[in-house]
């Protein structure tokens, strides 16, 4: 079930309602957001424009000797593209398309529409007098679903006094496009070619200088150059996203909500204005226990709704009272609306390492958990609290890797994630913003398979998930999602895998056809007590979807109470009765997973022994083939076949009847199986008996070990 209590109400921010990316709008946004761009240019040098209408003759500090002359494949002559000083002109150099240039403090800028242009070129002389270094790089940035490439040339004077000159030419991504440039620091030559399929080009010229005499101090490196390009795109190029969401509807009944805000600062009073708040200054009732908390290794109540600052990227926990005005009548749904300036990428928030952190979507758009996982490798899966389900939902960022709808974090949604040792900051980039609308626009990620097992008892449902990939591990790995204890204290159904003593909701497993796996799987119907929960006996139905597990993998389960074997490929559902277990108590003010309570209800066995397809031919009888080699040293192979899935016991005895080794004691799927026995230093040379038991049938074979 994917019922989510936070239903998004599409109320849009007018800040995003911009007509388009015509040159008029580019020019307007460039001038309005100029300081956003120039502020990220390290040691920005404000140069002069003293060369006329088609070049810069000096620029100050011997920056140019008549350089920055612009041309194209349609004009060819250096300097044939004239500077327009902000006016939008038409030029044959761009295929009779419009363009404009701006000579701004610290930034020369050109934007041009292209038609049939093969290359764009910069020429002229530089002031470095042949000393120093010239280099280049191609930057790649995704801006709201569109990939852009920035073709950058950098020239720095060897003396360390003249400015570092940077040409950044930005176009939409095309694998055919490349650039070339002169490595002579006296020569301004820079050419971007194979532009015939491109209809818009941007060119930024900027410089950096600190006058220290150390050129390394003002060289703008790759990372800083990428920030400049990203800031330009964010500031000037209209978003391809729909308008940002600025409100949500809170529906349902009283209960916890994990929230976030797309506006930062002292916004708690505005965000929670429609809800009943208590226990803090500025709330409806300051003199009782609080109902709004942040998390910093423990729950911490807000102190003042008016002055407490919300940090972009953080989460906040709110207990929502359905009676929002305390008049005895439930008032939900209510709409929470935020005023103020929306957060813009990039958002980075400090976190506590080796600890749980309550984070939150800082934007008015849905975020891809897959992309967040890629960009925040030191953090575990995402957990959100679903008030309707009275349980956490989780997702590890892989295909079908959890029960968070569409693998997306909605606007206004807070979430938990565990930071590993050394993980001290969490980043929300522009790339993590989902570019579509609706709920079914997640990008599929590379995965080797997935599966889901669901348990139902009355109106209660719990699901566990499996993901399979090459990095999976039978032990804990970074894609395993814990089954967290609930925020509320109500009766509920819960299911979990166990890795050691850790309860897991999403189990990331190895994609390995050559290994047989076994995993503990438990399900409990929990009744709330004063201090914790008691597992009680209830009838439960188990169903599953294994349509996307790795090809050839066979999964069977054994009910550890009844020892019944369930082949998940032969039936569609299985109904069973839970046994009573001892209860457990809850520890207050912690975030943690469910404890291990008694024996798990099931053991799940996964095997690829049935070969590469579920349609493989199965044996029609229980057999033990001839052990080979026999006699042997140092090892031999034992082969047997079973016609039906069932318990198998393989042991080795000496001639006195003493057990020497137990090789298999588990449920095995129907098929052909083999294993190796290497007695090494555990047995003396001599004659031994291999015994294979399947159900009530017993097969024996004599083997000889030589030394």
d(CA 233, CA 346): 12
Tokens encoding 669: 């799927």
pLDDT at 163: 85
pLDDT band at 594; cut points 50, 70, 90? very high
232 within 8 A of 202, measured Cβ to Cβ: yes
pLDDT at 617: 60
CA–CA distances in Å: residue 478 to residues 74, 371, 420, 472, 482: 54, 15, 9, 9, 10
d(CA 655, CA 659): 10
pLDDT at 551: 80
CA–CA distances in Å: residue 183 to residues 121, 131, 251, 707: 15, 10, 63, 72
86 within 8 A of 102, measured Cβ to Cβ: yes
pLDDT band at 213; cut points 50, 70, 90? low
Please report, rounded to a whole number, the percentage of residues in the chain having pLDDT higher than 70: 90
- Residue 452 pLDDT more than 90? yes
Residues in the chain: 707
- Residue 544 pLDDT more than 70? yes
pLDDT at 241: 59
pLDDT band at 533; cut points 50, 70, 90? very high
Question: Diameter of the chain by CA atoms?
Answer: 106
Q: Of 405, 402, 481, whose CA–CA distance to 442 is shortest?
A: 405
Contact residues for 438 (Cβ-Cβ < 8 A; gap 6+): none
> Nearest 5°: phi and psi at 25?
-75, -35
pLDDT at 346: 80
- Of residues 649 and 60, which shows the higher confidence score? 649
Q: Which of 2-16, 138-152, 445-459 has the lowest mean pLDDT?
A: 2-16
What would the pLDDT profile of 431-448 be if each residue is shown by its tens digit? 788 754 333 222 333 457
pLDDT at 477: 85
pLDDT at 48: 87
Domain ranges (residues) in the chain: 1-12+242-443, 23-236, 446-616, 623-705
Angle at 262 between CA 256 and CA 264, to 5 degrees: 100
pLDDT at 258: 96
Compute how many other C-beta atoms are within 10 angstroms of the C-beta atom of residue 439: 16
30 within 8 A of 38, measured Cβ to Cβ: no
pLDDT at 674: 82
Q: Does domain 623-705 have CATH number 2.60.40.1930?
A: yes
pLDDT band at 682; cut points 50, 70, 90? confident
Compute how many other C-beta atoms are within 10 angstroms of the C-beta atom of residue 495: 23
452 within 8 A of 476, measured Cβ to Cβ: no
Task: Over range 295-301, report the average pLDDT.
Answer: 94
pLDDT band at 242; cut points 50, 70, 90? low
417 within 8 A of 383, measured Cβ to Cβ: yes
Q: Of 342, 343, 292, whose CA–CA distance to 320 is shortest?
A: 292
> Nearest 5°: phi and psi at 578?
-75, 145
> Nearest 5°: phi and psi at 267?
-115, 0
- Residue 343 pLDDT more than 80? yes
Tokens 């008015």 — which residue? 364
Which DSSP helix (H) or strand (E) runs through 202?
strand 200-208
pLDDT band at 128; cut points 50, 70, 90? low
d(CA 636, CA 704): 10
83-87: long-range contacts, CB 8 A cutoff, minimum separation 24: 83/53, 83/54, 86/27
pLDDT at 501: 85
């Amino acid at each position: 079930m994917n019922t989510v209590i936070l239903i998004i109400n599409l109320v849009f921010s007018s800040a995003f309602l911009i007509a388009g990316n015509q040159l008029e709008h580019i020019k307007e946004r460039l001038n309005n957001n100029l300081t956003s761009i120039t502020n990220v240019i390290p040691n920005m040098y404000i140069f002069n424009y003293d060369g006329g209408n088609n070049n810069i003759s000096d620029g100050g500090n011997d920056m140019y000797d008549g350089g920055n002359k612009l041309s194209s494949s349609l004009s060819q002559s250096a300097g044939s593209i004239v500077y327009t000083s902000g006016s939008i002109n038409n030029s044959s150099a761009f295929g009779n398309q419009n363009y404009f240039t701006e000579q701004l403090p610290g930034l020369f800028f050109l934007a041009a529409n292209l038609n049939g242009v093969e290359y764009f070129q910069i020429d002229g002389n530089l002031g470095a007098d042949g000393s120093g270094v010239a280099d280049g790089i191609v930057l790649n940035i995704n801006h709201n679903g569109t990939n852009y490439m920035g073709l950058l040339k950098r020239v720095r004077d060897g003396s360390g006094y003249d400015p570092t000159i940077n040409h950044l030419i930005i176009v939409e991504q095309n694998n055919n496009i490349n650039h070339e440039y002169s490595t002579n620091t006296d020569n301004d030559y820079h050419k971007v070619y194979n532009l015939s399929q491109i209809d818009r080009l941007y060119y930024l010229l900027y410089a950096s200088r600190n006058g220290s005499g150390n050129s390394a101090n003002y060289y703008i490196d790759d990372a800083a150059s990428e920030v400049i390009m990203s800031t330009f795109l964010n500031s000037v190029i209209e978003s391809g996203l729909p308008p940002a969401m600025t409100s949500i509807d809170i529906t349902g009944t009283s209960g916890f909500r994990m929230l976030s805000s797309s506006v930062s600062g002292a916004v708690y009073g505005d965000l929670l204005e429609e809800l009943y708040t208590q226990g803090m200054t500025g709330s409806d009732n300051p003199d009782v226990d609080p109902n709004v908390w942040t998390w910093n290794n423990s729950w911490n109540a807000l102190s003042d709704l008016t002055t407490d600052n919300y940090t972009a990227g953080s989460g906040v926990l709110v207990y929502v009272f359905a009676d929002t005005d305390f008049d005895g009548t439930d008032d939900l749904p209510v709409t929470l609306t935020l005023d103020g300036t929306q957060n813009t990428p990039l958002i980075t928030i400090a976190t506590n390492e080796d600890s749980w952190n309550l984070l939150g979507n800082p934007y008015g758009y849905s975020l891809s958990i897959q992309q967040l996982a890629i960009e925040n490798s030191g953090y575990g899966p995402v957990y959100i609290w679903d008030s309707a389900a009275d349980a956490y939902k989780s997702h590890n960022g892989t295909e079908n890797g959890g029960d968070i709808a569409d693998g997306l974090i909605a606007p206004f949604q807070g979430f938990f994630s565990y930071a590993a040792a050394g993980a001290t900051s969490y980043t929300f980039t522009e790339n993590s913003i989902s570019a579509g609308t609706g709920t079914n626009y997640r990008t599929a990620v590379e995965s080797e398979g997935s599966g889901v097992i669901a348990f139902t008892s009355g109106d209660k449902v719990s699901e566990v998930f499996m993901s399979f990939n090459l990095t999976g591990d039978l032990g804990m790995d970074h894609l395993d999602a814990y089954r967290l204890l609930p925020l509320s204290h109500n009766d509920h159904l819960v299911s979990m895998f166990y890795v050691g003593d850790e309860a897991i909701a999403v189990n990331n497993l190895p994609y390995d056809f050559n290994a047989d796996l076994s995993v503990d799987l438990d399900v409990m119907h929990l009744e709330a007590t004063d201090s914790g929960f008691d597992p009680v006996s209830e009838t439960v139905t188990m169903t599953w979807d294994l349509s996307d597990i790795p090809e050839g993998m066979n999964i069977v389960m054994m009910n550890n109470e009844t020892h019944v074997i369930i082949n998940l490929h032969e039936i569609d559902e299985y109904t069973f009765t839970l046994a009573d277990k001892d209860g457990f108590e809850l520890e207050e003010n912690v975030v943690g997973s469910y404890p291990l309570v008694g024996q798990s209800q099931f053991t799940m066995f996964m095997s690829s022994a049935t070969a590469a397809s579920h349609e493989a031919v199965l044996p029609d009888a229980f057999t033990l083939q001839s052990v080979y080699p026999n006699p042997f040293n140092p090892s031999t192979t034992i082969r047997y076949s079973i016609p039906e899935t069932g318990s198998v016991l393989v042991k080795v005895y000496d001639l006195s009847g003493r057990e020497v080794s137990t090789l298999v004691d588990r449920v095995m799927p129907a098929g052909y199986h083999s294993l190796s026995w290497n007695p090494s230093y555990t047995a003396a040379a001599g004659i031994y008996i291999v015994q294979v038991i399947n159900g009530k049938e017993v097969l024996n074979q004599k083997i000889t070990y030589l030394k």
